[in-house]
């Protein structure tokens, strides 16, 4: 017997949970670096345009599919298409979310290990020490898997408590905590000597750095950062109430996500420039460069240094956890609704299988490094297949589905909450989802394979 579906109990809860999905490692380890490297303020401007014209409409589209379907992503697409092949686009979202959960959990586990290392006083040494520490840890066969299991265990605990008692309650606690931690580190970082150089690096508009690559980079980043085309947004929207204003919610989430990304830049660059360290991107930024920067800027063995480092890794863990919750929920909803089992059993299936995927990914960085394909380890393969193939494919097909297949009156009634809202922007939404979004997604997809 299928249990009664849960839903979000309040508007704030729904917004915070969905913003929790969006705000994640992508905001902290990717956005700041891309901004600094790709034209500073000019990049931020392009990014915001991408969020407004592409990210928010696609999020709104997923909201419509999810709330209309009031079921997991696969079934939601199936309902709207009356069982036609479009349901496989929904399934693609579920598969993408499922595959990401495993490797995202590994990185989230690393964040937990770094909280532990900070408390134990291990994050204190020469720049080379941080490189060795990270390489030793991430290639260790057992420790990363232990922390992956811990973070998946916490996620499981939240998920089995349901949408309202688990996801919503946790998001209402974790998201404000995340903001406070972020703000405190931003202030501490901006008060360091020479911090202004970092602020300048981030915000100085360098128009000559703008080219087509930068545009496509901003577009890809906006989709990843808003968790689009991975089933998450659609699944969360299936728990929205009929009163939720979908347009306002998508705009609010887009704004929250962009503010966090910009604040992450203000946390990282002033500190890095203050001690003259060149920031880089990806895992090495947060697990090698930043512990070194924080140690030099605030004093590794001093109380302030310890607190800042502790706050930083707690912030990262919270950001990763709220995204992980949404990823886990995509598959949990799918399993329990499609297999007609309890929510708890669905969650157990997801937890165990993502733990296995996570463990294999983690081992592929060390002892199982034979698990590679043309020089790419399993970790990068997962990242590539989900982020560069499934994400654009799912996003593109969703736009075509909504813009050209789903009857306009269904879209309009969801958009206007069955005629109770004005729907002033409906025409613009339709235009964006029919033309601008699919063409842009196609452009990034083809460009990354050097086809255009
Ligand atoms: N949006 C998250 C981030 O910026 O880190 C990553 C993410 C979470 C992507 C959930 C996709 C997803 F379904």
Q: Where are the domains of the chain?
A: 11-447
pLDDT on residue 36: 81
Q: Which single residue is written with the structure tokens 């919610």? A: 249
What gap in Å lies between CA 151 and CA 435, rounded to an integer? 40
Distance CA 443, CA 342 (A): 42
CA pair distance 42, 207, nearest whole angstrom: 6
Q: CA-CA distance, 358 to 443, in Å (whole number)?
A: 32
Place of tokens 């947004």: 233
Instruction: Please report the pLDDT score of residue 85 as a whole number.
Output: 96
pLDDT of residue 1: 44
What pLDDT was estimated at residue 300?
64
Q: Say what the pLDDT of residue 220 is.
A: 86
Ligand 1 near 24 CB (within 6 A): yes
Which two tokens mark 115? 């909280």
- pLDDT at residue 3, rounded to an integer: 58
Residue 230 beta carbon below 6 angstroms from any ligand 1 atom: yes
Q: Whose CA is nearest to atom 11 of ligand 1?
A: 227
**363 CB under 6 A from ligand 1?**
no
**Are 382 and 106 in contact, with CB atoms under 8 Å apart?**
no
Question: Cβ neighbours of residue 327 under 8 Å, at least 6 residues apart?
Answer: 21, 97, 98, 100, 101, 104, 230, 232
Q: Ligand 1 pocket test: which of 24, 230, 350 has the largest number of ligand atoms within 8 Å of its C-beta?
A: 24
C-alpha span between 65 and 401 (Å, rounded): 10
Residue 444: the pLDDT is 83
DSSP codes of every residue in 278-329: PP--HHHIIIIIHHHHHHHHHTTTSHHHHHHHHHHHHHHHHHHHHHHHHHHH
Classify domain 11-447 at the CATH topology level: Sodium/glucose cotransporter (1.20.1730)
Closest residue to atom 9 of ligand 1, CA basis: 227
Reading the block at residue 313, the tokens are 């890794």
Quick check: CB of 326 below 6 Å from ligand 1?
yes
Tokens of 127: 């720049």
Residue 7 has φ and ψ, to the nearest 5°, of -155, 165
User: Reduced to 3 states, what is the DSSP secondary structure of residue 220?
Assistant: helix
Total-model pTM:
0.95
Beta-carbon contacts of 227 under 8 Å, excluding residues fewer than 6 positions away, are 21, 22, 24, 233, 323, 326
Distance 449 CA to ligand 1 centre (A): 23
Distance from the alpha carbon of residue 269 to the mean position of ligand 1, in angstroms: 23
Residue 376 DSSP SS3: strand
Q: What is the pLDDT along the chain (452 residues), one digit of tens a residue?
A: 445 688 999 999 999 999 999 999 999 988 988 888 888 889 999 999 999 999 999 999 999 999 999 999 999 999 999 989 999 999 999 999 999 999 899 999 999 999 999 999 998 888 899 999 999 999 999 999 999 999 999 999 999 999 999 999 999 999 999 999 999 999 999 999 999 999 998 888 888 888 888 888 898 899 999 999 999 999 999 999 999 999 999 999 999 999 999 999 999 999 999 999 888 777 888 999 899 998 888 886 788 889 999 999 999 999 999 999 999 999 999 999 999 999 999 999 999 999 999 999 999 999 898 888 888 888 888 888 888 899 999 999 999 999 999 999 999 999 999 999 999 999 999 999 999 999 999 988 888 787 87
Residue 4 CA to residue 338 CA, distance in Å, equals 14
**CA nearest neighbour of 5 among 162, 170, 158:** 162
Ligand 1 atom with the shortest distance to the CA of 233: 13
Taking the centre of ligand 1 as the mean of its atom positions, its distance from the CA of residue 368, in whole angstroms, is: 27
**Residue 185 Cβ < 6 Å to ligand 1:** no
Cα(34) to ligand 1 centroid in Å equals 17
Q: Cα dihedral sign for 263, 267, 273, 274?
A: positive
Whether 387 is in the pocket of ligand 1, judged by its Cβ within 6 Å, is no
């Amino acid at each position: 017997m299928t249990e009664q579906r849960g839903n979000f109990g309040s508007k704030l809860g729904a917004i915070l949970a969905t913003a929790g999905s969006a705000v994640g490692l992508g905001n902290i380890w990717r956005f700041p670096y891309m901004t600094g490297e790709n034209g500073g303020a000019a990049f931020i401007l392009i990014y915001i345009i991408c969020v407004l014209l592409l990210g928010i409409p696609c999020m709104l589209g997923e909201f419509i599919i999810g709330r209309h379907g009031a079921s997991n992503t696969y079934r939601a697409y199936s309902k709207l298409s009356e069982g036609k092949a479009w349901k496989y686009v929904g399934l693609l979202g579920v598969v993408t979310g499922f595959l990401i959960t495993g490797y995202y959990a590994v990185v989230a586990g690393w964040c937990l290990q770094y909280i532990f290392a900070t408390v134990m006083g291990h994050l204190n040494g020469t720049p080379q020490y941080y490189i060795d520490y990270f390489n030793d840890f991430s290639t260790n066969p057992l420790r990363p898997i232990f922390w992956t299991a811990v973070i998946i265990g916490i996620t499981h605990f939240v998920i089995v408590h349901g949408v309202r008692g688990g996801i919503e309650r946790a998001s209402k606690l974790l998201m404000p905590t995340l903001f406070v931690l972020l703000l405190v580190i931003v202030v501490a970082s901006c008060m360091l000597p020479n911090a202004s150089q970092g602020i300048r690096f981030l915000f100085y508009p360098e128009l000559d750095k703008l080219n087509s690559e930068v545009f496509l980079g901003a577009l890809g980043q906006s989709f990843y950062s808003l968790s689009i085309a991975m089933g998450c947004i659609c699944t969360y929207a299936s728990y929205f109430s009929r009163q939720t204003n979908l347009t306002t919610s998508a705009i609010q989430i887009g704004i929250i996500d962009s503010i966090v990304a910009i604040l992450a830049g203000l946390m990282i660059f002033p500190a890095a420039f203050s001690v003259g360290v060149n920031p880089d991107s990806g895992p090495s930024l947060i697990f090698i460069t930043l512990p070194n920067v924080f140690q030099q800027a605030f004093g590794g063995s001093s109380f302030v240094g310890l607190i800042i480092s502790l706050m930083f890794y707690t912030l990262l863990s919270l950001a990763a956890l709220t995204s992980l919750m949404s990823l886990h929920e995509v598959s949990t909803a799918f399993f329990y609704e499609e297999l007609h089992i309890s929510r708890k059993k669905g969650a157990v299936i997801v937890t165990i299988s993502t733990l296995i995927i996570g463990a294999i990914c983690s081992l592929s960085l060390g002892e199982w490094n034979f698990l590679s394909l043309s020089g790419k380890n399993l970790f990068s393969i997962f990242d590539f297949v989900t982020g560069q193939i499934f994400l654009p494919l799912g996003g593109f097909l969703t736009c075509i589905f909504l813009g050209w297949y789903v009857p306009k009156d269904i879209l309009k009634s969801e958009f206007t909450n069955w005629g109770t809202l004005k729907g002033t922007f409906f025409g613009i939404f339709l235009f964006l989802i029919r033309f601008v979004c699919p063409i842009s997604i196609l452009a990034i997809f083809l460009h990354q394979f050097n086809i255009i």
